[in-house]
Chain A
Amino acid sequence: MQRRYRTISELKINESALAIAVTDPALAGKLTAMGVLPGTRIELVRPAPFGNAYYIKVDGVRLALREEEAACILLEV
C-alpha cells in the first residue's frame, strides 16, 4: 500500500506542501507553538551544510529543524 503522506526530507529544494499532522507529542508541543500546524504550507529552503537539519519556511517564517523534528511533520502527497 502506498503511504498517504511524505516528509520534509522527501521535498525538493524550494518545493512546498501542506502539513497534515504533527506526530510525536514530545516534539509536537514545541513545533505547534512555533506555528508548525496542520494546514500550514511548508517549504524546504535547503538542507544544512553538514546535513542532519533543514532550513524551512512556514507561512513566511523561517525555521531550522533537525531531521527528527522534521520527520514528525507529515505532509500531503
Chain B
Amino acid sequence: MSDSPGKPLKVALLGNPNSGKSTVFNQLTGLRQKTGNFPGVTVDMKEGRLRFPSGFDATLIDLPGTYSLYPTSSDEKIVAAVLTNPKDHYYPDVLVYIADVTHLEKHMLLLTQLLDLGIPVLLALNMSDTAAEMGIKVNIERLAGQFHIPVVPISGRTGENIQKLLHELERVLKNGQPFGLGETAFYPLRDLEKQVVDDVRKKLGIENAYQALLLAHHHSWLPFLQKHERETLETIVRNKEFHSLRAQVDETLERYDRFTPIVRQTIQQAGNAPDTPTDRIDAVLTHRVGGPLIFFGVMLLVFMAIFFGYDTTGGWVENTTGALIDGLAASLNESWFSSLLTKGVLPGLQGVLVFVPQIALLFLLITILEEVGYMARAVFIFDKTMRRFGMNGRSIVALIGGGACAVPAIMGARTISNWKERLITVMVTPFISCSARIPVYLVLIPVALPTSSWWTKALIFGGMYFFGLSAALAAAYVFKKILRTSDPSFLALELPEYRMPHWKNVWLTVWEKVKAFIAGAGKIIFLISIALWILGNTGPDGALLEAENKVRAEAAPTTSKDELDDRVAAKKLEASYAGMLGKSIEPAIRPLGYDWKIGIALLSSFAAREVFNGTMYTIYSLESVGAQEEEEAADQSPFERYGRLRRQMTNDRFENGDRIYTFATGISLLIFYALAMQCMSTLAVVRRETGSWKWPVLQFLFMSGLAYLIAWLAYTLLPKI
C-alpha cells in the first residue's frame, strides 16, 4: 500500500478522548514505544513498533484524541493538520479507529469524516467486554457492510481480540486493495460547499473533495500551507461568502442524521443502563463542600508521599551510589581522569539518580489520579478558580504535574484551546516546586534554621510548595491583566466513568516519563559536571600551583594532612577559572547575601537546579558522600542528611569574618531556588510549545528577576543570625 517499499508502513491510532485509545496503543506496542523526535516535526507524538505474527513490521502512531476534524485545541489541531496533508511525516497508510461501543453513536462522527477523507480505516469496537455485560449486541457484519470497512470487536483492558485486530490489520496492509466508501462520500456536500470545493480542487490541485473542504475551513492556521496557497484559499472563502462555523455545525448535524439510523439498526441495547458506582462516587467527590475538601486532602497525601518517600528512597539511593563512587575512587589510580570521573561526572549523575524514585512516585500518583478519572473532576471543580487567574480548569492538571517536573506538565497544556489561558499556564507552571528542588530545600532549610525542631523544618518545607503556588497564581493574575486574546475559551469536558487503573497503562506512562526525565536531565548534568570540573581544575598560567605552594608554606607544621589537603583544594578552587567566574559575579549577588562560591553554584544551577548539591560538594572539595557520614545519618530525619556539607557551609565566612550562612542567607537562597528559572529543559519545551523564543526569554527574565528581588528583600529584612 505504501508507494516506496523501502519505507516502513505507517498505521495511526485515532479515536475520541476516553475511547480507551492509549490502552489499545499499549496493548499493541508494549515497551516497543517512544516519543518520536524527528527533525522538521514540530510536535512529538508517541509511536511504537507493530510486530505482526508473520514477522513483518510497521510503525504505529498514537494521534491525540479528538471528537472531530474541526479542532478547538492545539492537540486536536495536530490531528487535522496530519490527516489533511498526505505529505506529512505522520500521514498513515491505514488508520485504526477506536470507538467505545457502549456509546457508539457519539463515536461515529469522526469515523465518517475519516471515511470521507479517503483514508483506509479499520474500525475497532473497544470495550466490547463491558458492552456484553451491559447486554449490548452489535451486528458486526452489518456495520462492516454499511461502511465497507473491516470491523473488529476488542477490549483494550483485557487484551481480548488484540491478536485478531493485528491479523486483520496485516491482511489489510498486505492486500493493498482500497476499501471504504470510495468515490461516494458519506456526507453529501451542500451547494455552497460544492462550489468552494470545486474551486479549491481546481486551484490547488487536490483530488479528495472533503480534504479540499477542510483546507477551506482551516486555511488560516494549517501549518503546511504555502503563503500563496493560504491566500488562494482565503480569496475563495471570501468570494463565496463561506461561513466556516455555521457550515461546521450543519455538517455535523447532517452526519448525525445519516449515521444514527445505521447505528440503531446494528446495535441492540438491552434497555436500561447498568447501575454504575460513578454517580454515587461523584455525589461525594464533586460535592459542593466535600469535593474541594477531598481534593485538598488528596493533594496533602501526595505531598506527604513526596516528603516521606524522599526520606527513605532518596537516602537509600544516595548511600548506595555514594558507596559505589567511593569504592571506585579508592580502586582507581590518582589521575586527572579518575578525578574527573569520581569528583565531577559521577557525583553529578548521582544528583539526578537521588530523586529518580521521587519523580517516579510522583508520576505514579498523578497517572493513577488521571487513569481513574479523578483529574477531570478536579478540572470541573476548579475551572472558575483558575479562570479568575486567567487560566482554564485544565491548568490544574499542569500545576499538579509541575510538582513532579514542569516539562511534561507544560506539554500537557496542549489540551487548553484558548491561547491566552494556555500561554499563562505554560508561563507559570515552573513556579510550582518540582522534584529537582527537593534536595536543594533539604540542604538549605537546616542551614537557615539549624536549631529548630524537625516539625518546624517540615512546615517550612511545606511552606515552600505553598510559596511556589502563590507565586504561580500571582504571576498568572498579572499576565491575565496584560495579555489579550479573541480565542474562544472552553470547558466542555467529558467526565469519564470511574474505573480501576489499568496497571499496564500506569507502568508504561511512568516508565516513559521517568526515562525522558533521566535522558534529558542526565545529558545536561553530565555536560555541566564536566565543564565545572574543567573550570575548577584549570586556571591562568601557574595560578593553581602558586596558590597551593602559598598554603603549604604558610601552614603550621601541626596541621594534619587531611586539613591541609582541604585547604589546598579550597585555595586552588579560588584561583581557578571557576573561582574567577564566581568572583566576577560576586558584586551582583552580594546584596542577596551570597559569596563567590554560591555564585558558582548559581551559575551552574541555571542549566538545571538539581546540580546545586553536586556543585556545593565539589566546591567544598568533599568526596561525593562520605559513607560513614551517611550511615550515621541513615536513621535520622531527612534534614540530618548532607551533614558534612552543611557543617562546611555553616562554618564558612566572608572575608570580613562574618558568617556566610546566616538565617537571612538561607531564606534568601531558598526563595531564590523556589522562584528562579533554572532549567534549560523547561525553556526548550516552552520554546517548542509557544513557537517562539520570545516567551521562554521573557519567562527566564521575569522569574529570575522576581527571584532576585524577593531574595534581596528577604536578606535585607531578616536578621543575620
* A and B associate: yes
- List residues of chain A with CB under 8 Å of any chain B CB: 22, 25-35, 37-38, 45-53, 55, 59-66, 69
Stretch of B379-387, B467-475, B680-688 that contacts chain A: B379-387
Which residues of B, 269-309, contact A by the 8 Å Cβ criterion? 273, 278-279, 282, 286-289, 291-292
B68 pairs with A61, CB closer than 8 A? no
Partner of A62, one of B106, B246, B278: B278
Pick from A25, A49, A63: contact of B292, CB below 8 A: A49
Q: Is B252 an interface residue (CB 8 A)?
A: yes
Please report the C-alpha to C-alpha distance between residue A60 and residue B274 in the assembled complex, in whole angstroms: 10
Complex CA gap A63/B18 in Å reads 12
The interface bits of chain B over 375-401 (1 if a CB of A lies within 8 angstroms of the residue's CB, else 0) are: 010011111110100000100000000
* A61-B68 Cα distance, complex, nearest whole Å: 17
In whole angstroms, how far apart are the Cα atoms of A33 and B492 in the complex? Answer: 11
Contact of A69 with B282 in the complex, beta carbons under 8 Å? no
19 further A-B contacts with Cβ under 8 Å, apart from A34-B67, A66-B383, are: A25-B245, A26-B488, A28-B245, A29-B68, A30-B492, A33-B68, A34-B492, A34-B494, A46-B288, A48-B381, A49-B287, A49-B288, A50-B385, A53-B383, A59-B106, A60-B273, A61-B494, A64-B493, A64-B494
Question: Which residue of A is nearest B494, CB measured?
Answer: A63
The answer to whether B249 and A64 have CB atoms under 8 Å apart is no
For the complex, give the distance between the alpha carbons of A7 and B292 in Å.
Answer: 26
B273: chain A residues at CB < 8 Å are: 60
Interface residues of B in 497-518 (CB under 8 A from A): 497
Residues in chain B near residue A28, CB distance under 8 A: 245, 249
- The answer to the question of B132 belonging to the interface, with a C-beta cut-off of 8 Å to chain A, is no
With an 8 A cutoff between CB atoms, is B495 at the interface?
yes
Pair B249/A32 contact, Cβ less than 8 Å: yes
Given contacts A30-B492, A53-B491, contact A35 B106 (CB under 8 A): yes
Distance, CA A61 to CA B488, complexed state (A): 24
Tell yes or no: B465 within 8 A of A by CB: no
Q: For the complex, is B89 an interface residue (Cβ under 8 Å from A)?
A: no
Given known pairs A30-B72, A37-B256, A55-B495, the reply for A64 and B248 (CB within 8 Å) is no
Q: Within the assembled complex, what's the spacing in Å between the Cα atoms of A34 and B256? A: 11
Q: How far is the CA of A64 from the CA of B375 in the complex (A)?
A: 12
Looking at the complex, which one of B67, B245, B286, B292 makes contact with A26 (CB distance below 8 Å)? B245
Residue pair B252, A33 in contact (C-beta under 8 Å) = yes
Decide yes or no whether B258 CB sits under 8 A from chain A. Answer: no
Q: Give min CB distance, A69 to chain B, whole Å.
A: 6
Contact (A63, B288) CB under 8 Å given A29-B70, A29-B245, A30-B72? no
Contacts of A47 in B (CB 8 A): 288
Of B68, B282, B384, B496, the contact of A51 (CB 8 Å cutoff) = B384
B490 at the A/B interface (Cβ < 8 Å)? yes
Give the number of A-B contacts (CB < 8 Å). 116
Q: Give the CA-CA distance A37 to B68 in the complex, in Å.
A: 15
User: Contacts of B67 on A, CB cut-off 8 Å?
Assistant: 30, 33-34
B256 cross-chain contacts in A, Cβ below 8 A: 32, 37
Chain B residues lying within 8 Å of A63, measured Cβ to Cβ, are 492-495
The docked-state distance in angstroms from the alpha carbon of A26 to that of B109 is 18
Separation of A64 and B392 alpha carbons in the complex (Å)? 13
B105 within 8 A of A: yes
Interface contact A52-B70, CB-CB below 8 Å: no
B103 at the interface (CB under 8 A from A): yes
State how many angstroms separate the Cβ of B514 from the closest Cβ of chain A. Answer: 31
Tell which of A31, A32, A61, A69 touches B103, judged by Cβ atoms closer than 8 Å.
A61
Task: Give A20 to B329 CA distance when docked, in angstroms.
Answer: 77
Across-interface contacts of A34 in B (CB, < 8 A): 67, 106, 492, 494
Listed A/B pairs (14) with beta-carbon separation below 8 Å: A25-B243, A27-B492, A29-B68, A34-B106, A35-B105, A45-B279, A52-B384, A61-B106, A62-B278, A62-B496, A63-B492, A64-B376, A64-B491, A66-B383
Inter-subunit contact B282/A33 (CB<8 Å)? no
Report B421 CB to chain A, min CB distance, Å.
12
Roughly how many angstroms separate A38 CA and B282 CA in the complex, as a whole number? 27
Q: A33-B252, A63-B493 are in contact. Are A53 and B384 (CB under 8 A)?
A: yes
Contacts of B288 in A (CB 8 A): 46-47, 49
Asked if B41 lies at the interface with its beta carbon under 8 angstroms from chain A, I say no
Q: Which residues of B contact A45 (CB under 8 A)?
A: 279, 282
Q: Which residue of A lies closest to B417 (CB)?
A: A30
The distance from the CB of B237 to the nearest CB of chain A, in whole angstroms, is 16
**A34-B493 Cα distance, complex, nearest whole Å:** 9
- Is B253's CB within 8 Å of the partner chain A? yes
Set B278, B385, B492: member contacting A31, Cβ < 8 A: B492
Tell me whether A55 and B106 are in contact (CB under 8 A).
Answer: no
A34 to B134, CA, bound (A): 22
A30 in contact with B245 given A46-B286, A49-B289, A64-B379 (CB within 8 Å): no
